[in-house]
Amino acid sequence: MGLGGCIILIAVGAILTFATDWDMQGVNLDLVGIILMIVGLIGVTTFSSIARRRRVVVPPTTPVADDGRRHTRDGYSDGYGV
């Protein structure tokens, strides 16, 4: 489950907890909403910690010396390939 799925879980849980007043026999929708929000928060923290570990620091490359000539795609500057 990615970050988007976690955010959707939090949003659906908040809607069930705070924005609805449905009454279902045998199901407490407020508790279901709170559980969904907690699972979404756990997912966000897990995703962010994994994403932090995946960051790779690339060392800077050494600059290539420019000899002042213009080069085309094939490497020649006069256009005839000679």
What mean pLDDT is predicted for residues 2-18? 94
Q: Is the pTM of this model over 0.95?
A: no
Whole-number Å distance between alpha carbons of 82 and 69:
15
12 pLDDT tier (thresholds 50, 70, 90): very high
| Per-domain boundaries in the chain | 3-53
Cβ neighbours of residue 3 closer than 8 Å, sequence gap 6 or more: 44, 47
Distance separating alpha carbons of residues 17 and 29, to the nearest angstrom: 7
How do residues 13-62 score in pLDDT, each as one tens digit? 999 999 998 888 999 999 999 999 999 999 999 998 887 777 666 666 76
